[in-house]
Amino acid sequence: MTQSLWHLENIDVTHLLCPTKLGNEDLMARHTHCNFKKGESVYVPQDLSDRIFFITEGSVKISVMNEEGKEITKAILGRGEVFGELALLGEQRRHDFATALEDTNTCVVTLEELRGLMRDRSELNLFFMKMFGGRQLEMERRLESLVFRDSRSRIVEFLVNIARSKGQRVGYEWVIRKPVTHQEIANLTATSRQTVTTTLNDLRYKKLLSFNRSRLLIRDLDKLAQEIK
């Protein structure tokens, strides 16, 4: 699956989940924006699950802690993506962490408001139906990767998927701006930071990619995909 955990193609709900975009002063007066600084928590486990968040700028990490206190990253979401949606499935209290990875702006819709919108707008029902389905498929893909692929292949597979879902194609190359850190890649692929660094350096040596803090450039996506064993 090439889409990120909660990203859905071909359905633009920006004007519904963030009605300030409509320029309607009444909607703007009733709508809530929340800004979060880098490293700030959006919510933590046991917070009341009564709001859904739509990212207009920035990025957010969704994670959990295992019994040993180790953080496990479930997803990293960016502009145009939604999180906190498990409230729609009856979640009463949050069971995971949502943390801003950079200065982030969100539009916030209460559960009651969202249910009202879904009654009136059929495209929202389709959006969330695809979102939940996409999440299930992505979790199954990640589980299969953990079982059947080695650490290096999981890292390469992650790079291929993030290029297809969030990258910008420029000729034969793919550019990913503001790439996640080596540690976050490790958290997402159940590997170590050292393994991520070693793998990326090896791929750079093979001239398959180049990277710095501001961007990741994949020179040939098909050749990179061939590195997956």
DSSP string, 75-88: EEE-TT-EE-GGGG
Provide the pLDDT for residue 17.
64
* Residue 90 forms part of a structural domain: yes
**Among candidate residues 77, 100, 135, the one where a domain is terminated:** 135
Number of domain units in the chain: 2
Residues 27 and 117 in one domain: yes
CA-to-CA distance for 145 and 222, rounded, in angstroms?
19
Region of poorest pLDDT, from 60-69, 131-140, 144-153, 167-176: 131-140
Predicted confidence band at 3 (pLDDT cuts at 50, 70, 90)? Answer: very low
Most confident of 4-8, 30-34, 60-64: 60-64
List the strands of the sheet with 82-83, edge to edge: 32-36, 104-110, 51-57, 82-83
202's CB contacts (< 8 A; 6+ apart) are: none
**Among candidate residues 135, 167, 195, the one where a domain is terminated:** 135
* Residue 179 forms part of a structural domain: yes
C-alpha pair distances (Å), 158 with each of 34, 42, 82, 109: 30, 25, 21, 31
Comparing CA positions, the residue from 43, 44, 37 lying closest to residue 59 is 37
195: domain range? Answer: 149-225
CATH at residue 130: 2.60.120.10
Amino acid identity, position 26: D
Stretch 163-174: mean pLDDT: 88
Residues 128 and 157 in one domain: no
* Residue 48 forms part of a structural domain: yes
Judged against a pLDDT cut of 90, whether residue 25 lies above it is answered with no
Provide the pLDDT for residue 151.
94
DSSP per-residue codes, 90-120: T--B--SEEEESSSEEEEEEEHHHHHHHHHH
Residues 126 and 194 in one domain: no
Amino acid identity, position 227: E
Provide the pLDDT for residue 172.
84
Summary mean pLDDT of the chain: 84
Using one digit for the tens of pLDDT, what is the confidence trace for 104-124?
999 898 888 888 888 887 778
* Residue 9 forms part of a structural domain: no
Provide the pLDDT for residue 14.
61
CA-to-CA distance for 215 and 196, rounded, in angstroms?
16
Residues 116 and 220 in one domain: no
Residues 69 and 24 in one domain: yes
Instruction: Return the H-helix or E-strand segment holding 210.
Output: strand 209-211
* Residue 19 forms part of a structural domain: yes
Residues 73 and 49 in one domain: yes
Tell whether the torsion through CA atoms of 51, 52, 54 and 60 is positive or negative: positive
Most confident of 10-14, 73-77, 142-146: 73-77
Residues 122 and 189 in one domain: no
Residues 123 and 18 in one domain: yes
CA-to-CA distance for 165 and 155, rounded, in angstroms?
15
Residue 112, Ramachandran bin (φ over 0: left; ψ between -120 and 50: alpha; else beta): alpha
* Residue 3 forms part of a structural domain: no
Judged against a pLDDT cut of 70, whether residue 174 lies above it is answered with yes
Residues 131 and 179 in one domain: no
Region of poorest pLDDT, from 4-8, 88-92, 216-220: 4-8
Residue 62 CA to its chain's centroid (Å): 8
**Among candidate residues 135, 162, 178, the one where a domain is terminated:** 135
Residues 41 and 95 in one domain: yes
Residues 117 and 163 in one domain: no
Q: Are 224 and 152 in contact (CB under 8 A)?
A: no
Judged against a pLDDT cut of 60, whether residue 70 lies above it is answered with yes
